């Protein structure tokens, strides 16, 4: 809905009451809200920082004279800070690290705007200060995947990679290079995909690999070889590869369990993708996040009706791609596995 002049003026007045009046000289991007303006949503604030690609720490002071609830997203609909309540007069400082690149969303998608875009929203956003500083030594958690993982540009589609950053604290940025429609074959063949990721990996960076949904005609030997190539090339750069089995499709049998073929990612050639990934993780001594098993358990727990909310069943008759709720739940499952398997240190996770 288009904002009115009165609402926009009210928002600016509210923010001006608590925001610093001038930018700080010790950072090239300033402190305060001088980079921000009312967004299309009447209660949101859109902030833009004209800076080059890289990793950046964002520190925000939440709160105001009245009670609030503030969430922050950035770039292409990435959730960066979960909605956080503040009481009247209360101030809370929160920090996170964000990956800025061009293009900002899917690697083969539109470029989007340059620099860093942040959207401060929530039920009642209250922001007293905002600071952005370079973080060149931050760890990047790379994501290699398909449309179930990627930074989806348009609502209601949402990849679990878009919702993962809220689980990470300052010092680790999610670098989501997942791309719609990609398979193990195309991710290796297109220079805009794995070749670019490979050049950016630094020693110690985790690289999560979830590719299966689009390997519909990839035979087992080729599938294993492609995943092996990805793992070996990540290791050659000093990165830490992690194999991830694919999220399930919402496709039920009459007894309320998921179909052993379509739902559990067995392709037209009879290749059981999750089974291949599990076996390969053992062979290559690679950490495994069995997202197939985790999402299967959740979908079957909710059942044929309740699980519709995790996918775009109602909106798009789509039982493959997740809603905001589904992506949020699945990102939480991934974050729990990052912690449980020691892929990221405890201090890096919220």
Q: What is the pLDDT of residues 66-107, one digit of tens each?
A: 999 999 999 999 999 999 999 999 999 999 999 999 999 999
Q: Any residues with CB less than 8 A from the CB of 279 and at least 6 apart, and which?
A: none
pLDDT at position 39:
79
User: Are the C-beta atoms of residues 164 and 335 closer than 8 Å to each other?
Assistant: yes
DSSP code per residue over 60-71: EEE--SS-EEEE
C-alpha–C-alpha distance, residues 76 and 180, integer Å = 14
Report the candidate in 57, 92, 86 with the shortest Cα–Cα distance to residue 74. Answer: 57
Same-domain check for residues 56 and 25: yes
CB atoms within 10 A of CB 309: 16
Burial 173-201 (b: 16+ CB within 10 A, else e): bbbbbbbbebbbbbbbeeeebbeebbebb
C-alpha–C-alpha distance, residues 334 and 167, integer Å = 10
Of the residues 134, 165, 196, the one at which a domain ends: 134
Burial class (CB in 10 A: 0-12, 13-18, 19+), 25: exposed
Same-domain check for residues 125 and 144: no
Same-domain check for residues 48 and 30: yes
Whether omega for the bond prior to residue 156 falls within 30 degrees of 0, making it cis, is yes
Listed as own residue / partner, the contacts of 6-10 with beta carbons closer than 8 Å and 24 or more positions apart are 7/38, 7/42, 7/43, 8/38, 8/42
Instruction: Give the distance from CA 175 to its chain's centroid.
Output: 8
**Domain count of the fold of the chain:** 2
Same-domain check for residues 166 and 231: yes
Same-domain check for residues 279 and 167: yes
Of the residues 88, 106, 134, the one at which a domain ends: 134
Same-domain check for residues 168 and 303: yes
User: Are the C-beta atoms of residues 249 and 212 closer than 8 Å to each other?
Assistant: no
Q: Residue 240: which CATH number?
A: 3.40.50.1110
Which domain covers residue 36, as residue numbers? Answer: 5-134
pLDDT at position 40:
73
pLDDT at position 41:
67
pLDDT at position 17:
35
Report the candidate in 8, 37, 28, 12 with the shortest Cα–Cα distance to residue 119. Answer: 37
Whether omega for the bond prior to residue 69 falls within 30 degrees of 0, making it cis, is no
Same-domain check for residues 105 and 227: no
Same-domain check for residues 264 and 232: yes
Q: What angle do CA 288, 292, 295 make, to 5 degrees?
A: 120
Same-domain check for residues 120 and 148: no
pLDDT digits (tens, 9 = 90+) for 211-263: 999 999 999 999 999 999 999 999 999 999 999 999 999 999 999 999 999 99
pLDDT at position 24:
32
pLDDT at position 31:
56
Same-domain check for residues 191 and 305: yes
Q: Residue 81: which CATH number?
A: 2.60.120
Longest dimension (CA), the chain: 65
Same-domain check for residues 222 and 312: yes
Report the candidate in 271, 286, 291 with the shortest Cα–Cα distance to residue 239. Answer: 286
C-alpha–C-alpha distance, residues 308 and 313, integer Å = 5
Specify the 3-state DSSP secondary structure of 189. helix
Of the residues 109, 134, 159, the one at which a domain ends: 134
Which residues of the chain fall short of a pLDDT of 50?
Answer: 1-30
Same-domain check for residues 47 and 152: no
Instruction: Give the distance from CA 209 to its chain's centroid.
Output: 14
Specify the 3-state DSSP secondary structure of 127. strand
Burial 248-276 (b: 16+ CB within 10 A, else e): bbbbbeeeeebeeeebbbbbeeebbbbeb
């Amino acid at each position: 809905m288009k904002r009115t002049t009165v609402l926009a003026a009210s928002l600016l007045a509210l923010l001006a009451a608590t925001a610093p009046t001038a930018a700080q000289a010790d950072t090239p991007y300033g402190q305060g809200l001088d980079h921000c303006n009312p967004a299309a949503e009447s209660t949101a604030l859109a902030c833009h920082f004209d800076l080059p690609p890289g990793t950046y720490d964002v520190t925000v002071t939440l709160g105001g004279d009245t009670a609030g609830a503030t969430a922050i997203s950035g770039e292409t609909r990435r959730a960066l800070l979960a909605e956080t309540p503040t009481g009247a007069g209360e101030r809370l400082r929160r920090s996170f690290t964000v990956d800025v690149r061009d293009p900002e969303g899917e690697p083969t998608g539109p470029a989007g705007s340059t620099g860093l875009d942040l959207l401060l929203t929530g039920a009642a956003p209250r922001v007293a200060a905002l600071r952005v500083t370079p973080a060149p030594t931050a760890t990047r958690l790379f994501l290699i995947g398909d449309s179930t993982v990627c930074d989806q540009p348009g609502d209601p589609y949402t990849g679990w990679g878009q919702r993962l950053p809220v689980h990470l604290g300052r010092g680790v940025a999610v670098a989501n290079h997942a791309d719609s429609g990609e398979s193990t074959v195309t991710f290796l063949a297109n220079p805009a995909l794995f070749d670019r990721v490979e050049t950016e990996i630094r020693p110690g960076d985790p690289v999560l690999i979830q590719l299966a949904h689009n390997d519909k005609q990839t035979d087992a030997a080729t599938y294993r070889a492609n995943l092996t190539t990805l793992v070996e090339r990540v290791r050659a750069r000093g990165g830490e590869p992690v194999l991830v089995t694919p999220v399930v499709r919402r496709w039920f049998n009459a007894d309320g369990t998921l179909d052993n073929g379509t739902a559990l990612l067995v392709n037209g050639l009879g290749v059981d993708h999750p089974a291949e990934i599990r076996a390969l993780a053992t062979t290559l001594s690679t950490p495994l996040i069995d997202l197939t098993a985790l999402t299967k358990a959740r979908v079957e727990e909710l059942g044929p009706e309740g699980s519709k909310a995790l996918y775009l069943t109602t909106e798009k008759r789509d039982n493959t791609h997740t809603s905001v709720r589904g992506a949020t739940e699945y990102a939480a499952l991934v974050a729990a596995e990052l912690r449980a398997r020691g892929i990221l240190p405890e201090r890096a996770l919220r």
